[in-house]
């Protein structure tokens, strides 16, 4: 191999209802990335155990994520859609990466500190080692690009650190087996087995915020259902939530700078921009100077126009899950075949007998 083939990988955890933030920040971008890229999209059900050990409906949650992928426009024939636990090579490579990663690296992960809270001694080892499994998810396919939100960028940097340490520690073994690729990291030449994965961060609304508090990210776990638009919400629910969304008494500004210090206004403008593939400046050029009593109904109509077809297709797929199950089963088979190629080579590099 003379270079790493471009490959896009990403995944979504099956915990709670998917919402508008998941769609705009992740799934919609997954659909767009299909054009001109080889893509692998995963329902990361093993990661779901780090949030909650016992799930009452893990199969249903897993199917709903897959249904959202398909309903949004991901093509499971041209690309791969599967659930993580169907490919045991993810866990196998994660153990190797646990031995590559350093405790100091893990201690710097801010998401663990946030999720573990004050009582870190009671947090699970899985939550602590989560970034190592994330690195394995990506690198077991030697993926080169990952669409991520800002909150996952630190984990992607860790995946690069793990890949680099593996490449350097096993440099001679990689060269002897003939599996490596000559790359340059900074100004340094490296004979690498794993690529230096690149984040794909962008779009006008990479972080969709709560409809009740513009300083907090839209979340599945927020106790208020009014804080989010769920992908399975009907038209009446979408309308109610947007009309009740928190705003301030001022009208919309004509310039983007006028959104500073106004998180709720900024969030609604960002959502409109993302749903129309416009910039905030373009949205304000249309609505600047108008009150939210004018803007919110326009946002309601737009959100329903974009989301209603997806919601309808998700419901159709969830009414008869045999089609979703067949997609996941076939995707798992294809993903296992790719992942096993990597693991056979990794075992050779390490010196495992198999």
Q: Is 220 marked as a binding-site residue?
A: yes
Q: Is 219 marked as a binding-site residue?
A: yes
Q: Is 6 marked as a binding-site residue?
A: no
Provide the CA 264 distance to its chain's centre, in angstroms: 24
Q: Is 279 marked as a binding-site residue?
A: no
Q: How far apart are CA 248 and CA 246, in angstroms?
A: 7
- Any idea what the Cα angle at residue 115 is, between residues 112 and 119, rounded to 5°? 90
Give catalytic residue positions.
Answer: 115, 217, 220
Q: Is 152 marked as a binding-site residue?
A: no
Place of tokens 């998700």: 314
Q: Is 111 marked as a binding-site residue?
A: no
Q: Is 14 marked as a binding-site residue?
A: yes
Q: Is 217 marked as a binding-site residue?
A: yes
- Mapping DSSP onto H, E and C, the string for the chain reads CCCCCCEEEEEECCCCCCEHHHHHHHHHHHHHHCCCCEEEEEECHHHHHHHCCCCCCHHHHHHHHHHHHHHHCCCCCCCEEEEHHHCCHHHHHHHHHHHHCCHHHHHCCHHHHHHHCCCHHHCCHHHHHHHHHHHHHHHCCCCCEEECCHHHHHHHHHHHHHHHHHHHHCHHHHHHHCCCEEEEECCEEEEECCCCCEEECCCCCCCCECCCCCCCECCCCCCCHHHCCECCCCHHHHHHHHHCCCCCCCCCCCCHHHHCCCHHHHHHHHHHHHHHCCCHHHHHHHHCCCCHHHHHHHHHHHHHHHHHHHHHHHHHHHHCCHHHHHHHHHHHHHHHHHHHHHHHHHHHHHCCCC
Q: Is 17 marked as a binding-site residue?
A: no
Q: Which residues are annotated as a binding site for ATP?
A: 13-15, 21-22, 149-151, 208, 217-221
Q: Which residues are annotated as a binding site for L-tryptophan?
A: 137
Q: Which residues are annotated as a binding site?
A: 13-15, 21-22, 137, 149-151, 208, 217-221
């Amino acid at each position: 191999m003379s270079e790493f083939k471009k490959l896009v990988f990403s995944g979504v955890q099956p915990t709670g209802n998917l919402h508008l933030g998941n769609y705009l920040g992740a799934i919609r971008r997954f659909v767009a990335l299909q054009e001109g890229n080889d893509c692998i999209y995963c329902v990361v059900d093993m990661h779901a155990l780090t949030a909650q050990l016992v799930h009452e409906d893990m199969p249903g949650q897993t199917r709903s994520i897959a249904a959202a992928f398909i309903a949004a426009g991901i093509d499971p024939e041209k690309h791969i859609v599967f659930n993580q636990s169907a490919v045991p090579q993810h866990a196998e490579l994660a153990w190797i990466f646990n031995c590559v990663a350093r405790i100091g690296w893990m201690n710097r992960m801010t998401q663990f500190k946030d999720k573990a809270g004050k009582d870190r001694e009671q947090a699970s080892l899985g939550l602590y080692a989560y970034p190592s499994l994330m690195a394995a998810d990506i690198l077991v396919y030697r993926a080169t690009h990952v669409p991520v939100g800002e909150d996952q960028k630190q984990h992607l940097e860790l995946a690069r650190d793990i890949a680099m340490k593996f490449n350097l520690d096993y440099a001679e073994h990689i060269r002897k087996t003939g599996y490596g690729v000559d790359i340059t990291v900074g100004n340094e030449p490296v004979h690498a087995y794993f690529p230096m994965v690149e984040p794909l961060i962008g779009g006008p609304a990479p972080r969709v915020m709560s409809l009740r508090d513009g300083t907090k990210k839209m979340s599945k776990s927020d106790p208020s259902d009014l804080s989010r638009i769920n992908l399975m919400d009907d038209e009446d629910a979408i309308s109610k939530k947007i009309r009740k969304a928190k705003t301030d008494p001022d009208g919309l500004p004509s310039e983007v700078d006028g959104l500073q210090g106004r998180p709720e206004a900024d969030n609604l403008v960002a959502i409109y921009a993302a749903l129309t593939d416009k910039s905030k400046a373009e949205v304000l050029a249309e609505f600047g100077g108008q009150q939210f009593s004018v803007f919110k109904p326009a946002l309601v109509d737009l959100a329903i126009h974009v989301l209603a077809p997806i919601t309808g297709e998700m419901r159709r797929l969830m009414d008869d899950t045999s089609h979703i199950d067949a997609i996941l089963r076939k995707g798992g088979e294809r993903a296992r075949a790719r992942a096993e190629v990597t693991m056979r080579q990794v075992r050779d590099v390490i010196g495992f007998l198999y």
